[in-house]
Structure 1
Amino acid sequence: MLQNQHTTNRHYSYVKDKLQNGLQRFITHESFGGILLVFCVVFAMVVANSQYADLYFWFQKFEFGFFVGSLELKIEVLHFVNDILMSFFFLLVGLEMKREMLYGELAGFKKVSFSIMAAIGGIILPIMLYLYFTAGTPYEKGFGVAMSTDTAFALGVILLLGNRVPKIVKVFLVTLAVADDLGAISVIAIFYSDQIHMFWIGVSVCIAGILGYCNYRDTKYLSLYFFFGILLWISVYLSGIHVTIAAVILALTIPGRTQRVNRKYFRNMLSEFDRIKMITNNGADILQIQENDNLGFWQSTWRNIKNFMTSTPSARNVNMAKASELVYILDSIGIYARYAQNPLLRLEHALQPISAYFIVPLFAFINAGVHIDSYMDLGINGVMFGTILGLVIGKPLGIFLFAYLGEKCNLSVRPEGLGNFHIFAVGAISGVGFTMSIFVANLAYGEDIAAINLSKISILIASSIAVVFGIILMGLATRPSRKTKLEEHTEV
């Protein structure tokens, strides 16, 4: 029994290490993706205010698709990027949330509550500031713009400071951003959905139930999840709820713990290993092959020619049959090993580079371009002041205050090594809105192009201020103390 418990603990440790390595890969991809994101935003602004501006806005509205007889399906590039490609981005966000809740810093109520409390503060206070400037106007519905964090860009800012930033600070930023994204997705689903159709909501619930059953049965086939995920996306779209929620539901049904199926594949692999032992005389034939490998080129060639000339046809047939069977067995082991992999890890590992290097930068380029001219009204009912102050002031204050209150009220436990200055600096960096804020702006203001453009300008200004503010604060928070410098000098 103790041996079984030790084996279980070792298996859990292995899976946890794999998921933590996944977190490290995510940080690496997202950090570089943040730098690429900056380039795309700047490039979009330059193009939108150059002689190629007409071409840029024409490309946004360009329609493509296909038709079969009288049936015609087409979609604008802007909607294709925002509704379809960004669904993969939100799928990745959902996978990150599930991974953190299963094995990461969000595992356990006290641990998860620290990041969640901080994220709640980073949502409530910016919304209050935005509504203070826009209450009673048609633009108050854009409150979601001031509460969002761009994880990729925020991690890109952290990357600029190099190894001086402790790992716990990076992990806190990621978990905070994940909790923040969960809040943003909830706001999008509740406040920025169109007219609700109950029939399609019922269909969506049924499809989600099928996905949940697949998860319960430890189904390993990602193609099956994607098939039902597409059906779920269509039904959620037709229901009037924003499709981001479909991507998150799909992510939460992807298996992250597959012990039942893994035991089956491990048993199959063990039986294949037994067959290898039987075919190779408990490995004696393999050892003999290794001895032959140690011979020189000419000796090995002469031995092979001699064996070929002196061996009987039946012996050669036996050797060929044995070699073929060994290849078949190794092939089977490879298939079992592939199927035994964690589906959540496989999918997240595949989506990370696609999201960081293609989807998010393309979204930024398509959406960030704003044509600035003298006719732009910068005082549209407090949109600019609400957005900038919400992201730059409300975000860090809300995160710090709620994290502090959660700890003092014994609702959460602060991660070891994370100081107050670190929390406030992370809050400042979280004021970088970009992707999520622009996404919400497009939903909130609908066809009001003037409000969307002003909101985008406000987001760019606020994010730029947040970057500078965050770098200064994080630099101060992570600078070596006098005691550390003295110890380093003494060691030298």
Structure 2
Amino acid sequence: MLQLGQPGQNGWGTVMATDTAFVIGCLALLGSRIPQSLRIFMLSVAIVDDIGAILVVSIGYGSRIHWEILALSAIGVVIVRVMALLGIRSITLYFLIGGIIWLIIDASGVHATITGIILGLMTPTVKWVTDKHLHTILDSVGVMPEANHKKNATTHRMALRTAEAAAREALSPVERLETLLHPWVGFVIMPLFAFANAGVLINITDFGNSITIAVFLGFTLGKPIGVFIFSWIAVLTGIALRPANLSWLLLLAGGFLAGIGFTMALFIANLAFSPTLINSAKLGIFSASLFSAILGISLLSLWAVFGKNKLNNSMDY
């Protein structure tokens, strides 16, 4: 609203996303002094925020959509679903099909980031081997006789292959993917992404720029107000239940932490703003993220130090 009819109005999606990694990091600083319910709530907010932001990027910041090419990507998605129904568990094969779908969606005019959401939601979450069954298989391998002749050797190799498959299928594909990708995402992709998008020249006069102010207020006021009001509406209408140890003060503090929008906000800003405006938008993102982190941590520290019950009662009804 602050940029309606002005050069920065195309950047409305910049203030949508919450940086999951930074929010979790801020909560980790407080350790056990805050309830687990707040961590779950904030993680849920961050995930939904990111999904919404990616949908906005895919639809709002794409080019002209070529529907016939997009239809081909839908066929690819159907193929992935059929593979899952047939019980195909090869991650390599899913990577291959997923890469082809990514290229097709990118060529269709829709931003290809939506591919990650679609394929991520379709990844099987069910494991085929229970922990008890796995232990039974491993125990049976451990008591097998030594492979001292051809028949025993063949039986031993088959048992080992069975144990290998059981160990693999004791984790669902989504868990295996998470384990496989986490080091690359955490230590390579995210640092490179932040490094490539974070460059900004800071000038004290730029803080008065209308785009900087709009982005700053969108994160520091819009996010906490939105999180608080929609949480209140959800509880009031019965859509959601508020845990007893998750007070309204904690929800408000969490709303301020939701104003940390570093990485995804930078990505959207680079798509939305022209080269002459991007510097002002980045300055607003950085300053808002820093302010939101400090204020959110301060409120949570205040809640932890000065008595949880007293502060809870001041905000509860």
Unaligned 5+ runs, structure 1: 1-130, 281-285, 287-317, 485-492
Match of 2:251 in 1: 423
Deviation string, structure 1 residues 389-435 (Cα, Å, up to 9, x no partner)? 11001111110111011101112122352111111111111101100
- Mapped to 2, the partners of 1:441 and 1:359 lie a distance apart of 19
Q: Alignment partner for residue 65 of structure 2, among 191, 196, 221?
A: 196
* Structure 2 counterpart of 1:337, one-letter code: A
- Correspondence for 1:256: 125
1:336 match: 165
**2:80 alignment counterpart:** 211
Query: Residues 355-403 of structure 1, C-alpha deviation per residue, up to 9 Å, x if partnerless?
Result: 12221121111111113458x75555x2111110110011111101110
Contact 1:428 1:469 in 2 (8 A): yes
The answer for the alignment partner of 2:35 in structure 1 is: 166
Given that residues 204 and 235 in structure 1 are in contact (C-alpha distance below 8 angstroms), is that contact kept between their aligned partners in structure 2?
A: yes
Q: Distance in 1 between matches of 2:168 and 2:269?
A: 42
Shift of 1:139: 1.4
Counterpart in the other structure of 2:181:
351
Alpha-carbon distance, 1:228 to partner: 0.7
Query: Partner of 2:228 in structure 1?
Result: 400
The residue number in structure 1 matching 2:280 is 454
Correspondence for 1:363: 193
- Does the alignment pair 1:444 with 2:313? no
TM-score normalized with structure 2 length: 0.87
Matches of 1:480 and 1:168 in 2, distance apart? 20
Aligned mate of 2:114, from 245, 248, 271: 245
Identity of aligned residues (%): 32
Of residues 90, 100, 103 in structure 2, which corresponds to 1:221? 90
CA RMSD in angstroms comes to 2.7
Cα offsets for 1:262-319 (capped at 9, x unmatched): 59xx79x87x95x998x75xxxxx9xxxxxxxxxxxxxxxxxxxxxxxxxxxxxxx83
- Taking the aligned partners of 2:18 and 2:309, their CA distance within structure 1 comes to 35
Larger Rg: 1
Note the alpha carbon deviations across 1:242-274, whole angstroms, 9 max, x for none.
111011111122111255xx59xx79x87x95x
Asked if structure 2 preserves the Cα contact closer than 8 Å seen for 1:134 and 1:140, the reply is yes
1:177 aligns with 2:46: yes
- Partner amino acid, structure 2, of 1:221: S
Q: Does 1:136 align with 2:136?
A: no
Letter in 2 for 1:220: R
Shift of 1:344: 0.6
Matched, 1:470 2:287: no
CA distance in 1, matches of 2:206, 2:298: 32
Which among 232, 256, 261 is matched to residue 101 of structure 2? Answer: 232
Amino acid at match of 1:431: G
Of the three residues 120, 124, 148, the one matched with 2:17 is: 148
Query: Partner letter of residue 449 of structure 1?
Result: P
Report Cα offsets for 1:88-131 as digits up to 9, x if no partner: xxxxxxxxxxxxxxxxxxxxxxxxxxxxxxxxxxxxxxxxxxx2
- Kept in 1: contact 2:207–2:283 (CA 8 A): no
> For the residues of structure 2 that align with 1:219 and 1:245, how far apart are their CA atoms?
23
Structure 2 runs not aligned, ≥5 long: 311-317
Q: Distance in 2 between matches of 1:483 and 1:435?
A: 36
Deviation, structure 1 residue 213: 1.2
